[in-house]
Amino acid sequence: MKPDGGSLIGFGSSGAGGATFKAFDPAKNTPLEPTFLAATSADADRAATLAAIAALALARLSGADRGKFLRAIAANLETKADDLVARAMQETALPEARLKGEVARTVGQLRLYAQAAEGGDWTDARIETAQPDRKPLPKPDHRSMLRPLGPVVVFGSSNFPFAYSVAGGDTASAFAAGCPVIVKAHPAHPGTSELTGRLILHAVRDCGLPEGTFSLLFDAGFEIGQALVQHPLVKAVGFTGSVKGGRALADLGAARPEPIPVYAEMGSVNPVFILPGALAERAAAIVDGLHASSTLGVGQFCTNPGLIVLQRSPQAEQFVKDLAAKLAGTPEGSMLTAGIAKAYATNTGVRAKQPGVKVLAQAKTAGACGAAPVWFETEALSFLGNHALAEEIFGPSSLVVWCKDRAEMLKVAASVEGSLTATVQAGAAEAKNYGDLIEVLVTKAGRLVLNGYPTGVEVSHAIVHGGPYPSTSDGGRTTSVGTRALCRWARPVCYQGFTDDLLPVELQNANPLGLWRLVNGELTKAAVG
């Protein structure tokens, strides 16, 4: 498999007239073939039009058929995994083992969402049967469930060419919910995106789905993404990236004549609070675990631990010295793009000049796209007085915040903005005595980690990958990973007074799918008599 550089508009390709660009190998600092053609506004309009036509058919598709489609995509990715990984290695400089693992995660996620679609419980079916003899007025029959919104636009992310890109979580969950998807490919890995997109289209054809079920558009700039968000036929947006980019798209979605939801995963500092008992029991292990978590993938994870909070003590100071020594000896790695590497260098340079901030550890770096750990330290009072210190630096950089006591640690916790994760390292009998800290962190993050590390997002029914603003644009009410993700692409619809034969199968009296349903206030699988 080799990419040819064209957008995929339904079963067709983009027309002429768009600007051109090339992918880039960050490890070799060289451009890659082929030349990619950016989509035009006409391409965006055709993709949206086809998606709107397809939306009606997909909304009627059974959960079993949606599951079949998702499983077909998963099988196609497995079959062509070697080709996908080879191209992704060139475009991202990520190692082969990491990319193979990411393909496997993407495949597993597709199958989990297939299971959710087939089961149907995610639709939250509810039934209130009629009471025609109720006084003073009869009570009508009400039945409600979640129904698909319509065409969804997904923006591929830079740091996950598979799991958060063309066939990633946003696309898979939207398909599972019954929505067509238009992907705006990330320009950092267009070849990987095209190859993945072609495999999705093969599944569309093989499953007999309508042409507009999937489209993939290229653009090296912002115009096509903006056009898609503003298109009147688009009903929702999924995005993974920066606060600046996510906020811009959210504002565009809100400013439309018909506002739409934009589910943007944005900035996250992922604070780690290390309690005295944890250091007393396993300081060396925490040094190793924190180093591994913060340098994984050259720190290019949305869950990278960017803030380390400790109470000052001789033991804590030795812990930080040991960690700093390990960080200083860490070799550089290639970042995903030259732009990301430049931003990392700029942001760490700015932080080094902030009042009250000292460089704690700095490893050597030389490559054009290279980056190595740059860690800082400051006192809690300086941190609390300078909002810039609470902002994410994308890359292998973290800030150690020294607290004089428990009360100051709680003040730091209360001041932190919304994050995807918050971690507490505690001694065996210590966590239960820090309930006040944990309760504060519940208000700050979507996932709380005890005696672990924030990197590594396991795809499961119960996982939450979201958090209060600015980690997400929607205030942390949803998740982009796990089966709850389907609910972002659906809305509740109530059917009043419908006869059984006119109802969706999920709401019919016999409950042919065997769903858990809320019937007259009771959760049950029983048929309605």
DSSP state of 330: P
The three-state DSSP-derived secondary structure of 133-145 is CCCCCCECCEEEE
Confidence label for 29 from pLDDT (cuts 50, 70 and 90): confident
pLDDT of residue 268: 97
Does 224 lie in the same domain as 296?
no
Task: At 222, list the tokens.
Answer: 């912002």
Contact of 114 with 355, CB cutoff 8 Å: no
| DSSP letter for each residue of 443-493 | TTEEEEEESS-S------SS-----STTSBTTTTSS-SSSGGGGGGGEEEE
Does 166 lie in the same domain as 277?
no
Task: At 314, list the tokens.
Answer: 């001789």
Confidence label for 271 from pLDDT (cuts 50, 70 and 90): very high
Name the percent of the chain lying above pLDDT 90: 96
Of residues 317, 313, 281, the one with CA closest to residue 405: 313
Residue 486 lies in a domain: no
Does 278 lie in the same domain as 257?
no
Question: Could you give the CA distance from residue 321 to residue 250 in angstroms, rounded to a whole number?
Answer: 42
What is the mean pLDDT of the segment spanning 35-39? 96
Residue 17 has pLDDT above 90, yes or no: no
Residue 469 lies in a domain: no
Residue 525 lies in a domain: no
Q: For the chain, what is the mean pLDDT?
A: 97
Does 162 lie in the same domain as 224?
yes
Does 320 lie in the same domain as 260?
no
pLDDT of residue 442: 98
Q: Convert the pLDDT of each residue in 449-466 to its tens digit.
A: 999 999 999 999 999 999
Domain final residue, candidates 450, 470, 485: 450
Contact of 498 with 141, CB cutoff 8 Å: yes
Residue 528 lies in a domain: no
Which are the catalytic amino acids? 265, 302
Does 318 lie in the same domain as 247?
no
Which residues fall within 8 angstroms of residue 468, CB to CB, at 6 or more apart?
A: 417, 418, 419, 443, 444, 445, 446, 475, 476
Q: Which domain holds residue 377?
A: 271-450
DSSP state of 306: -
pLDDT of residue 366: 76
Residue 54 lies in a domain: yes
Q: Convert the pLDDT of each residue in 388-414 to its tens digit.
A: 999 999 999 999 999 999 999 999 999
Residue 119 has pLDDT above 80, yes or no: yes
Does 334 lie in the same domain as 239?
no
Q: What is the bridge-based pairing of β-strands 8-9 and 12-13?
A: antiparallel
Task: At 529, list the tokens.
Answer: 């008599």
Residue 55 lies in a domain: yes
Distances (CA, A) of 516 to 123, 145, 236, 525: 10, 12, 28, 5
The CATH code of the domain that includes 257 is 3.40.605.10
| DSSP letter for each residue of 344-382 | HHHHHHHHHTSTT-EEEEE----STTEE--EEEEEEHHH
- At residue 8, φ and ψ (nearest 5 deg) are -115, 105
Does 251 lie in the same domain as 109?
yes
Domain final residue, candidates 425, 450, 475: 450
pLDDT of residue 449: 98
Question: Could you give the CA distance from residue 487 to residue 505 in angstroms, rounded to a whole number?
Answer: 19
What is the mean pLDDT of the segment spanning 263-288? 97
Q: Is the model more confident about 364 or about 310?
A: 310
Residue 472 lies in a domain: no
Domain final residue, candidates 226, 244, 266: 266
518: alpha, beta or left? (left if phi > 0; alpha if psi -120 to 50): beta
Does 288 lie in the same domain as 257?
no
pLDDT of residue 365: 84
Task: At 477, list the tokens.
Answer: 């009410």
Does 391 lie in the same domain as 259?
no
Question: Could you give the CA distance from residue 33 to residue 5 in angstroms, rounded to a whole number?
Answer: 9
What's the domain count of the chain?
A: 2
pLDDT of residue 452: 98
Question: Looking only at Cα atoms, what is the longest distance across the chain?
Answer: 81
Question: Could you give the CA distance from residue 122 to residue 478 in angstroms, rounded to a whole number?
Answer: 14
Q: Convert the pLDDT of each residue in 486-507 to its tens digit.
A: 999 999 999 999 999 999 999 9
Residue 18 has pLDDT above 90, yes or no: no
Confidence label for 288 from pLDDT (cuts 50, 70 and 90): very high
Does 305 lie in the same domain as 249?
no
What is the mean pLDDT of the segment spanning 41-64? 97
The three-state DSSP-derived secondary structure of 403-457 is ECCHHHHHHHHHHCCCEEEEEEECCCCCHHHHHHHHHHHHCCEEEEEECCCCCCC
What is the mean pLDDT of the segment spanning 356-377? 93
5: alpha, beta or left? (left if phi > 0; alpha if psi -120 to 50): left
Question: Could you give the CA distance from residue 292 to residue 286 in angstroms, rounded to a whole number?
Answer: 10
Residue 218 has pLDDT above 90, yes or no: yes
| DSSP letter for each residue of 226-260 | HHHHH-TT--EEEEES-HHHHHHHHHHHHHSSS--
Q: How many CB atoms lie within 10 A of CB 317?
A: 12
The CATH code of the domain that includes 338 is 3.40.309.10
pLDDT of residue 123: 98
Does 87 lie in the same domain as 72?
yes
Confidence label for 190 from pLDDT (cuts 50, 70 and 90): very high
pLDDT of residue 209: 98
Name the pTM for this structure.
Answer: 0.96
Q: Convert the pLDDT of each residue in 76-115 to its tens digit.
A: 999 999 999 999 999 999 999 999 999 999 999 999 999 9
Which residues fall within 8 angstroms of residue 270, CB to CB, at 6 or more apart?
A: 303, 304, 305, 306, 307, 419, 420, 421, 422, 423, 445, 454
Residue 13 lies in a domain: no
